[in-house]
Chains A and B, each alone.
Chain A
Amino acid sequence: MLARSAVSLLRPASSAACRHAAPLSTSAPRCEIRKLARLRVVDNSQIGKEAMAEGRPPRVIHVYNKRAVATVGDKVLMAIRGQKRKGLLVGCVKTQHPMSMIPKFDTNNVVLIDDAGTPLGTRIHVPIPNVIRERLQRMSHKKSGDFTKILSLATRFV
């Protein structure tokens, strides 16, 4: 829907003939987090706050996943303020399978972490889904790092 409004702005406004030209065919939005998806940083890290304040949210440049689509609990690599940073997804807009009862959020929320899983911020001010606990525990190995440290930052679980 956003694409259509952008296209209509590009067309000349005056001529009636031009206005009713064939519109673009667009498919329904899937709200999946793939490469170049924009995310909302929800911790109080310095770089995250600056990026969100200046209106240039981080963009995903790699998803650490076989499927290349990130969901809750997945690690992503983002470009934020000219730097590459890793992040953990803590909330998705994508509608989940109804039987799973995983919460659906209004924004795609991400928490910035370093390579070992240590978060860059000190607090997460939005609710985190409970399902993330088990997913982070599965991800944490002695060699890869302890990703469950972000759970101690959360103020509210849903």
Chain B
Amino acid sequence: MLRRRTRIEIPEFYVGSVLAVTVSDPQAPGKTSRFVGICILREGHGLRATMTLRNAIDQQGVEICYPLYNPTLQKIEVLRLEKRLDEDLRYLRDCPLEYSTFAFDMEPEHAADSGEVPVNPVKVPLRPRPWTWRWERAGMKGLIVPELREDFYERAKKVSEPWHKYDLMREYRRSVPVEDQREIYAEVHEHVQSLETDQRRVRRRRVFVAPKKTS
């Protein structure tokens, strides 16, 4: 993972940030393909870590799942670094397309103060039912769920599992414990020092000047 990060810069981003990804694609005209979209999901750990970008192109919603350490990824740029109220924006599939539309020629927006990552408190409305998920049960903070018939809520109450918030082992399994975090950060710290020099060396090596014909 660290070796891959010396070749390509994988920037800091969160679910809700707008990214532009350039991939080498032998079937695309020009052999590279660029996609801009909002990150709706980040899954996986380690080399299998993936992110899903969503955009609405020509009134058609498109999502592409990119493995972050895939060697065919040439460039990952963050056009807008921000967070949303949820860690999972899959509800955008059931929202009007205007909330998933981002121009391909969007310019990178630089934050004025590079301190905390801004949180976008936008609340997105849903399209009329049917939906891809039971959003009245999901408890998404960035989503406005319309009022439904009361038997929806009765059924939601019946299948709800309110004891999850008290489950310590579940929380432990889902997160990286502090002891392991310390080990990982220590390992990364030694590499971060040499990361800058490695990246500069790679950039210099990559520059290929085509030979000019003399006479």
A-to-B contact residues, CB < 8 Å: 1-2, 5, 8, 19, 23, 91, 95-96, 98-99, 101-107, 109, 125-127, 130-131, 133-134, 155-158
Q: Is the C-beta of B134 less than 8 angstroms from some C-beta in chain A?
A: yes
Q: Is the C-beta of B60 less than 8 angstroms from some C-beta in chain A?
A: yes
Given A2-B130, A8-B151, A101-B70: A126 and B64 within 8 A (CB)?
A: no
Extra contacts besides A91-B60, A126-B59 (17): CB < 8 Å: A1-B132, A1-B133, A8-B151, A95-B65, A96-B65, A101-B66, A101-B67, A102-B64, A103-B62, A106-B60, A109-B60, A125-B58, A126-B58, A126-B60, A156-B58, A157-B29, A158-B62
Name 12 A/B residue pairs within 8 A (Cβ), A-sorted.
A1-B132, A5-B129, A98-B44, A103-B64, A104-B62, A107-B61, A126-B57, A127-B60, A127-B62, A155-B58, A156-B58, A157-B28
Given A1-B130, A127-B58, A127-B62: A101 and B27 within 8 A (CB)?
A: no
Q: Are A105 and B60 in contact (CB under 8 A)?
A: yes
Q: Are B65 and A104 in contact (CB under 8 A)?
A: yes
| Min CB–CB distance A77 → chain B (angstroms) | 24
Contacts of A2 in B (CB 8 A): 130
Total inter-chain residue pairs, C-beta < 8 Å:
74
Q: Is the C-beta of B131 less than 8 angstroms from some C-beta in chain A?
A: yes
The count of chain B contact residues (Cβ–Cβ below 8 Å) is: 32
Given A1-B130, A130-B25: A106 and B61 within 8 A (CB)?
A: yes
Contacts of A8 in B (CB 8 A): 151
Q: Are B67 and A19 in contact (CB under 8 A)?
A: no
Contacts of B155 in A (CB 8 A): 23
> Can you list the 8 inter-chain pairs with the closest CB atoms, starting with the nearest?
A106-B61, A126-B60, A133-B27, A98-B65, A130-B27, A130-B28, A104-B63, A127-B57
Distance A105 CA – B151 CA, assembled complex (angstroms): 32
Q: Is the C-beta of B35 less than 8 angstroms from some C-beta in chain A?
A: yes
Q: Are A1 and B134 in contact (CB under 8 A)?
A: yes
Q: Are A156 and B57 in contact (CB under 8 A)?
A: yes
Distance A101 CA – B37 CA, assembled complex (angstroms): 14
**Partner among B35, B62, B131, B132 whose Cβ is within 8 Å of the Cβ of A105:** B62
| Min CB–CB distance B150 → chain A (angstroms) | 10
Contacts of B131 in A (CB 8 A): 1
CB-nearest residue of chain A to B55: A158
| Min CB–CB distance A26 → chain B (angstroms) | 12
Q: Are A101 and B65 in contact (CB under 8 A)?
A: yes
Q: Within B37-65, which residues are at the interface with A (CB < 8 Å)?
A: 44, 48, 50, 57-65
Residue among B63, B93, B133 facing the most chain A CB atoms (10 A cut-off): B63
Distance A130 CA – B28 CA, assembled complex (angstroms): 6
